Amino acid sequence: MPSTALPSQSIGAPIPNNTAHAVSVTLPTWEATVGYEEGEPWVVNKMHSGYPRFFIHSDIQQLCKLIESSYARDNERCFIFPTYNIAKRCRAFIKEKAATMSPPLHPAVRILQLSTPAPANTQEESYKIEANIAIVFFPSNLFSLVKQYWQHTGEGISSRLGEYFLSEMKDKLAEEINNKGPSAKDSISSRSPRTSRSSRSSRSSVSVNNSNISNKQESATFIEERFGRNLDLRYAKEAKKILLSRLASEYDPSYVDASNTYLYPSGMSAIFNAHRAVLGCASAEDAQKLKSVCFGFPYVDTLNILRKWGAGVHFYGFGDDESLDDLEFRLESGEKILSLFCEFPSNPLLKTPDIIRIKYLSEKFGFYIVVDDTVANSSNVNIIPYCDIVVSSLTKIFSGDSNVMAGCLVLNKKSKFYSQLKKFMDEDYEDFFWDQDAIYLERNSRDFQGRSQIMNKNADEVLKLFQSSPLISHIYYPSVTSPESKKNYDAVKRENGGYGALISIVFKDQTDAVCFFNTIKLSKGPSLGTNFTLVCPYAILAHFKELDEVAKWGVDPNLVRLSIGMEKSSELIAALKEALDAAQEQHLV
């Protein structure tokens, strides 16, 4: 069960407290959230943590600086990826997008590969592994462009891989920086013959606090293995096998088994690679010409992926029956589409699409269906019979502890596209899910089903509280969003399933929303599916620069999203009621 300690209310503190690889970060007030989005120093300068695809972890930042000081040419920056193939994809993205700039740019982009030594003996196997990274060097003026690839695809290195690589190679890089250079026998190896080491002598030296890095890693390892029942690195492969079997067991075995279930380092990476799989299975002509459909208002980077890779996207932001009517008319009129991506239900509006009708249209008109079931999760709904690919963020409720990023992609064995998709995955899939992350995820997910049931029950109690509040104009939750949406959800809800942990509420007055959010004594920051309740002003946090645009799709600036956790129901209700009462009191003044 979650700790009873009060969550931090300090800007920039990790969520959970004192967690080196925390997934969320504290933004304790509405004003702090706005300040973060506007880049205000009083907020930004305190952000020592953040959601990993948006905020580059301090260990990764330090590793980048060391590598740049040792290997970069003048005016170059770098991003680090776990494999050479991913680095090549990033390089292709940079060149393609830079060529469309005004004026067009044709930057030099280089890739360097580095590796750490393999364990020298069986004793070292418990804490040491051969790790590989691929570094993309690019002109520094393109940093914001390259960060788009990092954010959208979720394919950057994990913070734990950054920490491990930093601890293993810090001495060697320090030698490089100080112009001592590694010898041919050094265990850190460069595997890129094209890499230049020019201008090293012109750069200032970078100091590395070796003892701090080692102490932090040893302390974290001791605590997690002593109290968290973690496996050690020798069992990373077994941990991944367990995870694949655990994930596959969530579905009917006639549709899914471990052989068609794939692990990724983030949910976004699973979505990106699902899109890559669809593009890879299509003919070259279709991949270049046919647009995909984004059905329903999605998490922001799903839409970014469909816009920036492939032929583009038709966006049906409402994701309702009328939208399906329009899509069907488009298809009946002769237009072809490549695929349809949707969330089940959507985040943050908790709208559930008519997946059975979508399946019917797919059979008739021959497009792929990719469903993200993160919000409902596989313990509550059985979505696999109605799509070709299921993707999910395991960072969320499957993990629950908010201390590891992960995702999965599952193929439907009964899909008409299964043979093509399976062939693509067999030839293309790389396991770049870092071993230490797999070990943490295996531990965290052991009680996934039980935690999901507790969250379902708590969410139902919270729903009743909000339904009685005169301050709230609308509640979004799969059972109450709309009769149409509830019918669509119930059509695939498991017999013992619930409606999930995510609730969005819209206040009639923004001053009430601000008072409620600022008063509530719960964790406040991005992410969802955590074992503890997590609250954020979603529209402000995710769409601050496009509030007018997202309002067209029903995402109100006064929307507050709550991911309900496992606290005692009475304590949770008391905390929420206290905040509602404070908002009610100031409303009457």
Task: State the pLDDT confidence band at 307, using cuts at 50, 70 and 90.
Answer: very high
Residues sharing a CB contact under 8 Å with residue 398, sequence separation 6 or more, in sequence order: 247, 377, 392, 406, 441, 444, 445, 448, 529
Of all residues in the chain, the percent with pLDDT exceeding 70 is 89
Q: Which two tokens stand for residue 508?
A: 């009639």
Secondary structure of residue 456 in the 3-state scheme: helix
Mean pLDDT of 121-125: 88
Dihedrals φ, ψ of 76, to 5°?
A: -115, 145
Task: State the pLDDT confidence band at 5, using cuts at 50, 70 and 90.
Answer: low
Secondary structure of residue 265 in the 3-state scheme: coil
Question: Cα separation of 372 and 390, whole Å?
Answer: 6
Contact 98, 104 (CB under 8 A): yes
Checking if the pLDDT of 173 tops 90, the result is no
Question: Cα separation of 464 and 472, whole Å?
Answer: 12
Residue 48 confidence (pLDDT)? 83
Dihedrals φ, ψ of 114, to 5°?
A: -130, 155
Total H helices, total E strands in the chain: 21, 18
Q: Which residue has the tokens 């304590």?
A: 571
The model's pLDDT over 544-567, given as tens digits with 9 standing for 90+, comes to 999 999 999 999 999 999 999 999
Contact 574, 4 (CB under 8 A): no
Question: Cα separation of 175 and 205, whole Å?
Answer: 10
The model's pLDDT over 447-494, given as tens digits with 9 standing for 90+, comes to 999 999 999 999 999 999 999 999 999 999 999 999 999 999 999 999
Burial label for 453, CB within 10 Å (0-12, 13-18, 19+), is middle
Nearest to residue 440, comparing CAs of 402, 385, 468?
402
CATH class given for the domain over 231-589:
alpha beta
Mean pLDDT of 99-118: 95
Q: Which two tokens stand for residue 330?
A: 């488009």
Mean pLDDT of 171-188: 53
Would you list the domain boundaries of the chain? 58-226, 231-589
**What does the mean pLDDT of the chain come to?**
90
Q: Which two tokens stand for residue 488?
A: 């669509």
Residue 126 confidence (pLDDT)? 86
Secondary structure of residue 37 in the 3-state scheme: helix
Alpha helices in 254-354 (DSSP H): 267-281, 284-289, 300-308, 321-332
Least confident of 2-11, 242-251, 292-301, 374-383: 2-11
Taking the alpha carbons at both ends of the chain, their separation in whole angstroms is 39
Strand partners, 295: 316, 342
Q: Which two tokens stand for residue 385?
A: 């019979």
Maximum Cα–Cα distance across the chain: 75
Dihedrals φ, ψ of 563, to 5°?
A: -100, 110
Checking if the pLDDT of 416 tops 60, the result is yes
Question: Cα separation of 447 and 452, whole Å?
Answer: 9
Residue 588 confidence (pLDDT)? 78
Q: Which two tokens stand for residue 99?
A: 């060529």
Residue 233 confidence (pLDDT)? 86
Question: Cα separation of 164 and 261, whole Å?
Answer: 27
Task: State the pLDDT confidence band at 177, using cuts at 50, 70 and 90.
Answer: low
Nearest to residue 74, comparing CAs of 174, 259, 198?
198
Question: Cα separation of 269 and 349, whole Å?
Answer: 23
Residue 533, H or E segment:
none
Contact 292, 313 (CB under 8 A): yes
Nearest to residue 442, comparing CAs of 274, 237, 251?
237
Question: Cα separation of 514 and 398, whole Å?
Answer: 31
Q: What is the gyration radius of the CA atoms in the chain, in angstroms?
A: 24
Task: State the pLDDT confidence band at 317, using cuts at 50, 70 and 90.
Answer: very high
The model's pLDDT over 328-373, given as tens digits with 9 standing for 90+, comes to 999 999 999 999 999 999 999 999 999 999 999 999 999 999 999 9
Task: State the pLDDT confidence band at 224, using cuts at 50, 70 and 90.
Answer: very low
Least confident of 105-114, 165-174, 239-248: 165-174
Dihedrals φ, ψ of 528, to 5°?
A: -160, 175
Q: Could you tell me the sign of the dihedral formed by the alpha carbons of 391, 396, 399, 405, in that order?
A: positive
Q: Which two tokens stand for residue 108?
A: 């030099």
pTM of structure = 0.91
Residue 176 confidence (pLDDT)? 67
Residue 426, H or E segment:
helix 418-428
Q: Which two tokens stand for residue 360?
A: 């019917």
The model's pLDDT over 56-106, given as tens digits with 9 standing for 90+, comes to 999 999 999 999 999 999 999 999 999 999 999 999 999 999 999 999 999
Torsion angle of the four alpha carbons 231, 233, 236, 242, in this order, in degrees rounded to the nearest 10: -10
Question: Cα separation of 263 and 270, whole Å?
Answer: 8
Residue 148 confidence (pLDDT)? 96
Residue 537 confidence (pLDDT)? 97
Q: Could you tell me the sign of the dihedral formed by the alpha carbons of 41, 47, 50, 56, in that order?
A: positive
Residue 275 confidence (pLDDT)? 98
Burial label for 577, CB within 10 Å (0-12, 13-18, 19+), is middle
